Amino acid sequence: MLLKRLYIILLTIGVLACEKDIELDLNTQSDKLVMYAFIYPDSTLNFHLSKSRSILSVEDFGQVEKGRFQLFVNDNFQGAYILPSDTTWSKWPEFTFRSGDNLRINAYELNGDTVKAESYIPQAINILDLDTLSVVQDVADNGTVQMLKSKVRFQDPGGQNNFYQLLVIREGWGTIGSDPYYTRKTIIYDKDDAVFSQGDQSGSLLPGIDFQGLFTDAIIDGKTYELTIYIPRDNLFFDYYEDKIRITYYLYHHTFDYYSYFRSIILADGYGGFYEGLPVFEPVKIHTNIQNGLGLVSGMNFDSDSLVFEK
Amino acid sequence: MLILLVNPSLNGQNVLYKQVELSTTTGSTQYFLSEIERQTNIVFSYSNQLCFQEEHQLTMQLPTVRQLLDALFINCPSNYIVRGSKIIIQPIDGEPQKFVIKGYVLDSSSKEALIQANVYEPELLLGTMSNNFGFFSISMPKGFVHLSSSYVGYKNGHHYINLERDTTVYFMMEPKAELDEIAVVGERVPGAVKSTRTGTIDVPIEQIKKVPVYLGEVDIVKSIQLLPGIQSGGEGFSELYVRGGGPDQNLVLMDDVPIYNASHLLGFFSIFNADAVNNVRVIKGGFPARYGGRLSSVIDIRMYDGNNEDFKGVASIGLLSSKLAVEGPLIKDKSSFSVSLRRTYFDVLTSVWQLKEVDKSRYYFYDFNTKLNYKLSDNDRLYFSAYLGKDQYGISYNEQFIPVESPDGKQTEQTVKTYDESDIGWRNYVGSVRWIHTFGNKLFANTTLAYSDYRFFIDQTLNYMSDGVWSKGSQNYYSGIRDLSAKIDLDYMPSPKHYVRFGGSAISHTFYPGIDVVLREIAGSTPVDTTFGGTAMHRPEFRFYVEDDFHLLPRLKVNMGGHFSLFQTESGKYYWSAEPRLSARFLIKDNFSVKMAYSQMTQYMHLLRTATVAMPTDLWLPVSDQIAPMRATQNALGFEYEISKGFNVSLELYYKKLQDILAYKETTGYFDFASDWQSKLTVGNGESYGFELLVHRKMGNLTGWFGYTYSKSTNQFDELNNGKAFPANFDRTHDISIYSTYQFSKKVDMGVTWTFGTGNPITLPETKYYAPQLPTAEANGNATYNQLINERNSYRMPNFHRLDIGFNFKKEKRWGSRLWSVGVMNSYGRQNPFFLYFADSENEQTGEVTRSLKQFSLFPIPIPYVRYTVKF
């Protein structure tokens, strides 16, 4: 008993660590304008303009009181607009966009800095085929599980760098009494396909960072490719109120800027697994395509296909 | 040159070493000979051809007989033949004939080799050094030879030889009691016979054992970190950052075999059990041509061969581990062995108080060293050595009771308790067979076949019900590197003025980047084993070298050589390198020298690091068609002043350039497995310069060192920090290490270390900005803001300093001795930073939220330790 107590005490001492506030003179950086816009064809423009803050500020961002922006589509000036100062995102339904549009946005604070960004709306890459098959998959942590093997076939345009994301959404419809019932969730699927993991280091017991279905055409350039994913079959089970389920496969065709920004914030968000919460990693630089500022402006496009199940 | 021929039975009492007191320093040859005869009762006999002078102007007042005769006949070389108290003086005609004296320098009680011992003729200023096996060979003129040997911590050894043929001698060196201060003075090794090396430090193992250490675990690497020019990665870690280089740029050799991960317990302890270590040598610059493959340092560790005389042992109990080391003869004068074992007992103790817990965890590490040697003949000896070491952390969970089937397949009421288990760990297995052979008297060969295997692993075993049958599934992930090598090193000693080394090696590297093995076992069926994941990469490497340590001028000694290497990439293409190595030492005075060195190094493998601190997941990978080898060029200028024997002051200036060093790009990291590892890296250059002051006292009651380093290390990568140069990760402007031990008596000694260092560079964001939820995010991220980093490593953590104090209480016992070691680490409770981070905190009374920079300290309070050791 005594030995045990002694050891507990010594272990406690050995692993005892402490934290305290320290003071370092941080270089003062002037606040930068921060701009975000994600632009889909046939959809409303959502726009954000704010200011950066000192890292020691408790605010995540600063409001821009007198913000303005100008929009150019295919070099045609669409007008200059005053941004409301009381919302994080402003909606602009007066604009419509099409695949392939080139976009340019200038934003500025009255009597202040100006930021610029250029992007385009990528062409949708069509899903040529969606095949599904129910399979039994070996999973070491609980033997075997039923999976829905899904093959998404598409043609990668050759001669250019393409950036993709495959997103799978489960939606359910039903009623509770006479009230409609709706559920929606993103399905986290196994990303074992070669397009997701090109590294030699990964293993099922040393999982890498989940890049949420992002991939490039590095190994499929110009090819028709059949991307295989496995979805746990429990996603096909109806819950108590559901009468219909729809599983939708979204194949996003991203711009380089969106892809790079997305990847960098996933990396910066931290590492899971063994080292979670341990800030001993090299800093990650977050991508931006905003000249003289921060943030991201990008066109977006996708094609989708779905499976529908009814009770 | 004067040659002495004496009766071989003569020894240290030789009449030639009687002292003569001169009343005048002016006189004829005849006068001084008569004076010798008068004072010493020596009688001289000489021929009429001997040259006599009318007047000598001498500078000596209390010379020995030999020194006086040397001075009198300086213009006419003569032999002195001693017959009892009679000395016959004969003039020499022509060049004297030479013979070889070879042999070994050994500890008198254990017969262990003493490595890098000086062997020299004190009057002729001819000398050499024993090699890694204690072997030496030196050519001497025929006649009387006085050969001395000197080694730190031992009394000087002497042989007086009537050299008429090639001769073998053994220096059986006796350890010197540290309290015997007087013996230290006056037996200094002449400067002319000492090493040419700069940037090389030999640390006596006895000094290392007295350094106060965390939890009483004697740690060689932590002692090395106290030397100037060498830094640790962070408080408590056993990593080495040498002159601006990274931790993968150090060649750590255990008996000539490279070790790829030299740490236990996530880097808090090194794998070297000090009870098994004979010699530690640290080379930071001026690399001899025989070493290659890493850019920044060589840590050459030699293990004990085993006591040839008696069975001896050391057993020790500490807070963290217990150790046992045993050595002794297997066949008298033929063969001996040494075995040492260290193991922690966290797991044993935790298992006791986890008896009633459902989930159980365990951690342990162990080291096992063994070495056997067998003397095949006077010229041949065979060594076998092995090292096994492992760290493992595991948990058992998900307790289940599986019904036991009877032999006829029916279920019984009996059950067996099982757990699911997960383990993570890493291990080194190292083995070597060496054959040393002396060809004739001047050529010594060491042929080594070695195996080194480092693995990081994760294992998972699960029990589950599949189709009504209990089954077991296991998965194993591993990464690592395995080397098979053949190597020959030859030492050729044609004359006392040349020491030639040459050799070559062929290494077959196999890199395992990450391999999954899945085993599925359903009760009653054959287990299915599947391997997938990364593929093993086989890469051959070849190395050749030649170097000569020679006297260019009487005061100028030079070591010149070249190292050549080839490394094959995945496409079959070879990278090659030819690396010139040069170091020189000029004796300004016998105890004051100036040294310079130039060396080029090439490295064909690098460590893909998980984080900024050591992690077991760190991965060794080879150069490839896309990734070129890293290269370094280093220049050094040094001054060394020997205050007294074993008490030196050295100052060294260095400038180092690193080319093609690697770092992660700013938009990726280790766990980014979506990218090919090669595309995640970016190539850049580095620069490091500074000076290092070392005051090192190896002998006496008060021993230790004071080290000060001023350095500046920067890196420049086109793709990092907007292309601007930035401080290297562990650039430390000022670094002070004071280590001292004081021997109060034969029973009590004290060790104190104090270290100070400028804070490590750190990258801190200065700005935050809005981060939206992306429209295609699978899951909502935690971050509501992004951080903007303006400059890399542009801030520094608070300065680091710490005082550690330890005492050793020794008592002789009938069966040997016992030793209590107690001490306190971080005696004044300095809170040194481990990492910094920003955090919000809320004032509970006002509700006001403030944000501040916080420091995390790992060992913020004084930490005591105790260890009990017995020697038998």
B831/A271 touch (CB, cutoff 8 Å), yes or no: no
Residue A266 has what pLDDT?
A: 84
Q: Tell me, yes or no, whether B539 and B499 share the same domain.
A: yes
Report the distance separating Cα A203 and Cα A85, nearest Å.
48
Token representation of residue B460: 């998972």
**Average pLDDT of the segment spanning B55-69:** 82
Lowest mean pLDDT among A189-203, A237-251, B422-436: A189-203
pLDDT > 60? residue B40: yes
Q: Which of B655, B593, B597 is nearest to B289 (CA)?
A: B597
Distance between CA atoms of residues B562 and B570, nearest Å: 27
The confidence score (pLDDT) of residue A47 equals 93
Average pLDDT, chain B: 84
Would you state the structure tokens that stand for residue B629, as one six-digit string?
């080898």
Of B806, B804, B822, give the one whose Cα is nearest residue B225. Answer: B804
- Residue of B715, B778, B822, B849 to mutate when probing chain A, most A C-beta within 10 A: B778
Q: Do A212 and B779 count as a contact with CB atoms less than 8 A apart?
A: yes
Mean pLDDT of B539-562: 92
CA distance A141 to A44: 45
Give the nearest chain B residue to A28 (CA atoms).
B766
Smallest Cβ–Cβ distance between B520 and the set A31, A138, A271 belongs to: A138
- Angstroms from B769 CA to nearest CA on chain A: 4
Together in a domain, B103 and B86? no
The burial class, CB within 10 Å (0-12 / 13-18 / 19+), for A173 is middle
Q: Are residues B633 and B712 in the same domain?
A: yes
Confidence of residue B611 (pLDDT cuts 50, 70, 90): low
Domain ranges of chain A: 33-120, 127-310
Q: What percent of chain B has pLDDT over 70?
A: 90
> What domain range includes position B172?
98-176
Say yes or no to pLDDT of B524 above 70. no
What percent of chain B has pLDDT above 90? 31
Residue of B nearest to A26 (CA): B766
Name the residue of chain A whose CA is nearest to B346's CA.
A7
Would you say residue B628 has pLDDT above 90? yes
**Interface subset of B 6-45, CB within 8 angstroms of A:** none
- Which residue type does B815 have? W
Q: Which site among B666, B774, B787 would you substitute to test the A interface, given the most A Cβ atoms closer than 10 Å to its Cβ?
A: B774
Residue B186 inside a domain? The answer is: no
What is B632-654 written as a DSSP string? EEEEEEEEEEEEETTEEEEEEEE
Q: Contact, B857 vs B798, CB < 8 A?
A: no
Q: Provide CB contacts within 8 A for A277, sequence distance 6+.
A: A270
Answer whether B475 sits within 8 Å of A204, measured CB to CB.
yes
Mean pLDDT, to the nearest integer, of B379-394? 91
Amino acid at A276: E
Of A188, A169, A182, whose CA–CA distance to A305 is shortest?
A: A169
Q: Which of A19, A200, A268 sits opposite B534 (nearest CB)?
A: A200
Domain annotation covers residue B187: no
Q: How many CB pairs under 8 A join A and B?
A: 300
d(CA B559, CA B548): 6
Interchain CB contact of B785 with A (< 8 Å): yes
Instruction: Kindly state the tokens that stand for B133.
Output: 């096996």
pLDDT of residue B181: 45
pLDDT of residue B208: 80
pLDDT of residue A17: 63
Mean predicted confidence (pLDDT) in B848-859: 82
Classify domain A33-120 at the CATH superfamily level.
Immunoglobulins (2.60.40.10)
Kindly indicate the confidence band of residue B58, based on its pLDDT and cuts at 50, 70 and 90: confident
> For B324-335, what is each residue's pLDDT tens digit?
999 999 988 889
DSSP A204-241: TTB-----TTEEESTTTTTSEEEEEEEEEGGGGS--TT
How do beta strands B86-91 and B43-46 pair? Answer: parallel
How many structural domains are present in chain B?
A: 5
The alpha-helical segments, DSSP class H, found in chain A are: 2-15, 256-268
In this prediction, residue A139 carries a pLDDT of 54
Looking at per-residue pLDDT, the higher value among B421 and A301 belongs to: A301
Identify the CA nearest to B777 among candidates A8, A269, A11, A107. Answer: A269
Beta carbons of B776 and A300 less than 8 Å apart: yes
* Encoded tokens for B812: 């002789």
Asked if the model's pLDDT at residue B580 lies above 80, the reply is yes
Q: Are residues B32 and B152 in the same domain?
A: no
Helix (H), strand (E) at residue B398: strand B380-405
The model's pLDDT over A256-290, given as tens digits with 9 standing for 90+, comes to 999 999 988 888 876 544 445 555 667 788 899 99
Residue A303 has pLDDT above 60, yes or no: yes
Mean pLDDT: which of B60-64, B178-182, B486-490, B677-681 is highest? B486-490
Q: Which of A149-153, B243-247, B637-641 has the lowest mean pLDDT?
A: B243-247
Mean pLDDT in residue range B420-446: 90
Q: Which of A135-139, B103-107, B551-555 has the lowest mean pLDDT?
A: A135-139
Tokens 């090794």 — which residue? Answer: B189
Beta-bridge mates of residue A103: A73, A119
Residue B357 has pLDDT above 90, yes or no: no
User: Rounded to an integer, what distance in angstroms lies between the CA atom of residue B274 and that of residue B272?
Assistant: 6
The reported pLDDT for the residue numbered A202 is 56
Nearest beta carbon to residue A287 from set B520, B667, B671: B667
Contact with chain A for residue B724, Cβ under 8 A: no
Q: What is the pLDDT of residues B304-326, one digit of tens each?
A: 888 888 888 999 998 888 899 99
Question: Chain A residue closest to B469 (CA)?
Answer: A143
Check pLDDT > 50 for residue B6.
no
The residues pairing with B79 across neighbouring beta strands, listed in sequence order, are: B3, B90
Average pLDDT over residues B720-734: 91
Find, among A158, A54, A296, A211, the residue nearest to B787 by Cα. Answer: A54
What confidence score (pLDDT) does residue B431 get?
A: 94
User: How confident is the model at residue B707, as a pLDDT?
Assistant: 93
Residues 407-436 of B with CB under 8 A from A: 424
Residues 183-212 of A with CB under 8 A from B: 186, 188, 196-212
Mean pLDDT of A208-234: 88
Residues B570-597 have a mean pLDDT of 92
Q: And the tokens for A11?
A: 């272990």
Which of A75-89, B786-800, B844-858 shows the lowest per-residue confidence on average (mean pLDDT)? B844-858
pTM of the model: 0.82
Question: Does residue B17 register a pLDDT over 50?
Answer: yes
Using a CB-CB cut-off of 8 Å, the residues of chain B touching A227 are none
Confidence (pLDDT) at A11: 46
What value does the CA radius of gyration of chain B take, rounded to a whole number of Å? Answer: 32
pLDDT score, position A8: 45
* CATH number, residue B250: 2.170.130.10
Do the Cβ atoms of B789 and A23 come within 8 Å? no
Residue B276 sits at φ, ψ, to 5 deg, of -105, 0
CB contact under 8 A, A215 and B674: yes
**What per-residue confidence (pLDDT) applies to B359?**
78
Q: Is the pLDDT of residue B63 over 90?
A: no
Among residues B303, B328, B344, which one ends one of the domains? B303
Element (H, E) at B31: helix B29-40
For the cut 80, the answer to whether the pLDDT of residue B739 exceeds it is yes
* pLDDT for residue B616 is more than 80: no
Q: Is A206 in contact with B352 (Cβ distance < 8 A)?
A: no
Let me know whether B338 and B279 are in one domain.
no
- What pLDDT, on the 0 to 100 scale, is given for residue B192? 59
User: Residue B444: pLDDT above 80?
Assistant: yes
Give A72's strand partners: A77, A104
Instruction: Compute the distance between CA of residue A282 and CA of residue A263 in angstroms, rounded to an integer.
Output: 15
Q: How far apart are CA B201 and CA B9, in angstroms?
A: 39
Same domain assignment for residues B351 and B487: yes
pLDDT tens track for A160-187:
999 999 999 999 999 998 899 999 999 9
- Domain containing B129 — which CATH number? 2.60.40.1120
Can you give the pLDDT at residue B326?
92
Whether the CB-CB separation of B418 and B367 falls below 8 Å is answered with no
Residue B87's pLDDT band (cuts 50, 70, 90): confident
The answer to whether residue A292 neighbours chain B at the CB level (below 8 Å) is no
pLDDT band at B651 (very low <50, low <70, confident <90, very high): very high
Q: What is the mean pLDDT of residues B166-185?
A: 70
Interface contact B363, partner A, CB < 8 A: no
